Chains A and B, each alone.
Chain A
Amino acid sequence: MTDRFTSRLVDAGRLPDDYPGDPDPFDRVMTGVRRRRRRDRLRAAAAAGVAAALVATAFAAPEYLGLPHRDAGPAVAPRTPTPAPPGAISGNASFGPWWVRASACPKDGSDPAGRAAEVMWPPIGVDPSRVWAWPQPQFTLSDVRCLVAHAGTSRGDVAYYEDPALPLTFADGTAFTGYRPTPDEGEFLMYGIAPPDAAKAEIRVDGVVVAVADTARAPEAAGVSYFAVAVIAPAGASVVVQGLDANGAPVGRARTEGVLPGTFPGWGDPEEEAKMWAEEQQAAKDRAKVPPCPQGEFVTDGCVTPEGNFVSGSGSAADIDAATDPVAPESFGYFGKRSQGVEGDYAFGRLS
C-alpha cells in the first residue's frame, strides 16, 4: 500500500509525456541572466535615482502639460495631451517594461484642458524631447512605461515602482503592482488591464474587499480597460483582483496557472548563496571526519548524529532532532520586504 501511495505521488509529479522541452535551454537561461543583470542595474538606479527622478519630473511635467514652468517665464504652448477619461487610469500605447509613475493632479486650477477629473498624464515617455532623466543613459524611451493615475490612487507626488514579483492575473486581464519607495508602509499601487467588459476591478486582500476601482478605456488602445487603485497589503498577503461588470457580477474567466513572471525576487545575493553553499560543502566534508555519535548514550563530546547533525559539547542528539519550530522567516530572506527589483520583460498586455 505504501508503494501504491508512493507510485501515485510520483505519478502526480511526473512531467507530462508530451512535454516538449526547450529548444535551447542555454539561450533561455542566458535570457534570464541578462534580465537579472538589468534588474540589478535598475535596482541600483532606482535606489540612486528616485530623488533625482522626482526632481526631473517636477520640472518636466509642467512644461509638458503646458503649465507655467516655475522658473521659465511664460508658459510654453500646450502639447495637446491626450485627454484621459475622468476618474480613470489610462496609458499610452507603447508600454515599456518597468517604469510606473503615479502623480497627483493639479489642484490650483491650472489645468486649462479641463482635466479636472484629477487625472494627468505624466510626461514620462510621451515626448521624446522629454526623455526621462534616468541615471543610466542606456535606458531609452522605448523602455519607459507611461501610466496615468487616478487621483485616488496616488498620495501626492509619489513614484511607484513595478514589483517584478507580483504580477497577478485576474479573470482575462492582467494586474501588476507597484510599490512606493518606502515599501514598508505596505501601500501598493495595483494597476493593470481588466477584462473587456469589466466596469470595475475589485481588490481583495486576504479575502477582504479593500478597494474597488472603476476601469477606463485608453484612447490609444480601443477595447482595453485599465484600472488602478492604491491598497494597503502586507507582504505575503493573498491578493485577488476580480473584474465586475456594471451590475456587480463577476466578469472574466478565472486563471490561476501560468502567471509567474520570468524572474523571482530571490532570497539572497547569488554570491552570498554560492559562498554559503561552498561553506556547507566544506562543512559536510569536515563532518565526514567527525566520529558518529554513539547510539543511545548521552553525548558529551563532538560527534555526528545519524541525521548528520554535528553535536558539540553536552547535549544529546535527540535535543537537536526535536526541533519543530517553523523555519525562521529570515531563512527565506526578503520576508517582510518587497523586492527592490524593477523588472518587466513581460508585456503589459492582455492575456489570452
Chain B
Amino acid sequence: MDATAQEEFADFTRGRWTALTAFAYSLVHDVDRAEELAQEALARLWKVWPKLRDEQPEAYSRRIVVNLAVASGRRRWWTGRAAAGPSEPTAPSDVAADAPAGGAGEAEDRDAMRRALAGLGTRQRVAVVLRYAHGLPETEVAELMGCSVGTAKTYASRGLEALRSVGILGDTAIPGGAA
C-alpha cells in the first residue's frame, strides 16, 4: 500500500472510529466489545483498503461489525458466561413500558431495555436494532446481516414479539406494522 493510501486509511480510521464504535455498541451494549468489533472491522478493511477505499468503506466496515456481532453472539464461548449465566429476560413488572422519562427513571428504563434486548437471540437483537434504532430499511438490514429480506424481517418481527412478551412494548403497536 502506498503512502497516500495509508494516510487516507489513517484519516478514515481516526475520523470514523467513534462512529463505528457507537454503531457496534448499539449492537452489543458493551464498550469493550464494541471497540474490539470496530478494531477488527478496520483491521480487515486495512487489508483491502486499496480496493475498497472508493467503494463505501464505511458501509463495508459496518457490515463486518454486524457479522462479527452476530458471529460472536452465536459463538457463545466468547461471552465468558460465568456462574451467573446469561442475563434473563426482564420480567414484565420490571420493565414498565410506559415508565416516565427523566433522571433515575431514564436509567432504569434504559437498563430494562438492555436486559430485554439481551434476552433476545443475537440475530433478532441485531435485526431489531438495525431496523428500529437505526431506522434502516429492510433491504439494508438484510444486506448488513447477509441474509434475505424475508429472513431479516422474520428476525425483527420475532424480536419484537419477544420484547412484547416480556412487556417491553406494553400494548404498543409494533413499529412499522410488523406482525
CB-contact partner of A171 in B10, B63, B74, B82, under 8 A: B82
Q: Which of A42-50, A69-77, A143-151, A272-280 contacts B (4 or more CB under 8 A)?
A: A272-280
For B64-107 the 0/1 string (1 means CB < 8 A from A) is: 10011011101111111111111100000000001000000010
A309 at the interface (CB under 8 A from B): yes
Pair A255/B82 contact, Cβ less than 8 Å:
yes
Pair B172/A307 contact, Cβ less than 8 Å:
no
On chain A, the residues within 8 Å of B48 by CB distance are 270-271, 273-274, 277
Interface residues of B in 139-166 (CB under 8 A from A): 139, 142-143, 145-151, 153-154
Name, among B113, B114, B128, the residue most crowded by chain A CB atoms within 10 Å (CB to CB): B113
Pair A307/B138 contact, Cβ less than 8 Å:
yes
**A4-B77 contact given A25-B17, A308-B149, CB 8 Å threshold:** no
Main secondary structure of the interface of B (DSSP, over half): helix
For A233, the closest partner residue in chain B by CB is: B77
For B17, the closest partner residue in chain A by CB is: A25
B58 at the interface (CB under 8 A from A): no
How many residues on the A side are at the interface (Cβ–Cβ under 8 A)? 82
Pair B148/A29 contact, Cβ less than 8 Å:
no
Interface residues of A in 286-302 (CB under 8 A from B): none
Pair B83/A14 contact, Cβ less than 8 Å:
no
A238 at the interface (CB under 8 A from B): yes
In the bound assembly, the distance between CA atoms of A327 and B146 in angstroms comes to 8
Pair B77/A237 contact, Cβ less than 8 Å:
yes
Pair B47/A271 contact, Cβ less than 8 Å:
yes
Nearest Cβ distance between residue A238 and chain B, in whole angstroms? 4
Pair B146/A331 contact, Cβ less than 8 Å:
yes
14 additional contacts (CB under 8 A) given A9-B128, A12-B133: A1-B173, A15-B18, A16-B31, A21-B18, A25-B39, A29-B39, A29-B43, A238-B76, A238-B77, A254-B83, A256-B81, A260-B32, A274-B51, A332-B71
Residues of A that sit less than 8 Å from B by CB: 1-2, 4-6, 8-16, 19, 21-22, 24-26, 28-33, 35-36, 165-171, 177, 235-242, 250, 252, 254-267, 270-271, 273-274, 277-278, 280-281, 307-309, 320-327, 331-332, 334
A-B contact pairs, 26 of them (CB 8 A): A2-B173, A6-B175, A15-B25, A15-B34, A19-B21, A29-B13, A33-B47, A36-B44, A165-B78, A166-B78, A169-B80, A239-B77, A240-B85, A252-B82, A257-B32, A260-B33, A261-B36, A267-B67, A271-B47, A277-B48, A281-B56, A323-B149, A323-B151, A324-B154, A327-B146, A334-B71
8 shortest interchain CB distances as A-B pairs: A13-B26, A259-B80, A274-B48, A25-B17, A32-B43, A323-B150, A254-B84, A12-B113
Residues of B that sit less than 8 Å from A by CB: 9-10, 13-14, 17-18, 21-22, 25-27, 29-36, 38-40, 42-44, 46-48, 51-52, 55-56, 60, 63-64, 67-68, 70-72, 74-87, 98, 106, 109-110, 113-114, 117, 123, 128-129, 132-133, 135, 138-139, 142-143, 145-151, 153-154, 169-170, 172-173, 175
